[in-house]
Amino acid sequence: MLKMVAFLAPVVTLVAIIALAVAGSFFTASPVFILLYVLAIALAIGARRAFPPGTFRAGPPPAAQALIRRGPYRFVRHPMYSAALLLVWSAIGAHLTLWAIGLGVVVTGAVVGRVVWEEKLLRATFPDYAEYARSTRALIPYLV
C-alpha cells in the first residue's frame, strides 16, 4: 500500500495543483500569498540546482550517486516535497474552501507516504543517511 501511495504522490500533487489553478486559487492580490508562491518556486529551483549536472532524478538517487547535502538539502531532506506542499497550501490559504482543504489533506497524505517510502530506500542506499536524518528535518526546517 505504501509503495502505491509513493508512486501516486507526484500524480496526486500535479492533479491538485491543476485543480487549484483551474479553480482560480493561485490568483490573489495578497502580497503574503504571492510571497509564499515565490518562496515555493525558489525552493524547488534551489533543490533542483543542488544536484550535479545530469544527475537529477524524480525519485531517490541510485547507489552510485552521492547523498546531496548542499543548497536547501542542508535544512530539509525533501525540499522538493516541501516546495510542493508550500505551493498547494498557499493556494488553499489564498482561497479557503472546504474542498480545497480536503484536497490539501489528500496531497499532504500522499507526500508523507512518499517521504516514508523514500526514506526507507535512502537509508538502505546510503550508510551515512541515518546521521543526515538525525541532523536535518524531513520537510520543515527546525520542526518536522
Range of the domain at 101: 2-51+61-135
pTM, full prediction = 0.90
CB–CB of 92/103 below 8 Å? yes
98 in any annotated domain: yes
Q: Is residue 143 part of a domain?
A: no
Residue 126, Cβ neighbours under 10 Å: how many? 18
| pLDDT number for residue 13 | 94
Domain assignment present for residue 102? The answer is yes
140 located within any domain: no
Residue 142 is given by DSSP the state: T
- Does residue 29 lie in a domain region? yes
**Residue 141 belongs to some domain of the structure:** no
**What does the pLDDT average to over 1-16?**
86
- Residue 116 counted as domain residue: yes
Residue 111 lies in a domain: yes
What are the backbone angles phi and psi of residue 50, rounded to the nearest 5°? -70, -20
Q: What is the number of structural domains in the chain?
A: 1
Q: What is the pLDDT of residues 31-79, one digit of tens each?
A: 999 999 999 999 999 999 998 877 766 666 665 578 889 999 999 999 9
Task: Give the E-state strand segments of the chain in sequence order.
Answer: none
d(CA 47, CA 61): 14
Q: Looking at residue 143, what is its pLDDT?
A: 85
Q: What is the DSSP letter of 66?
A: P
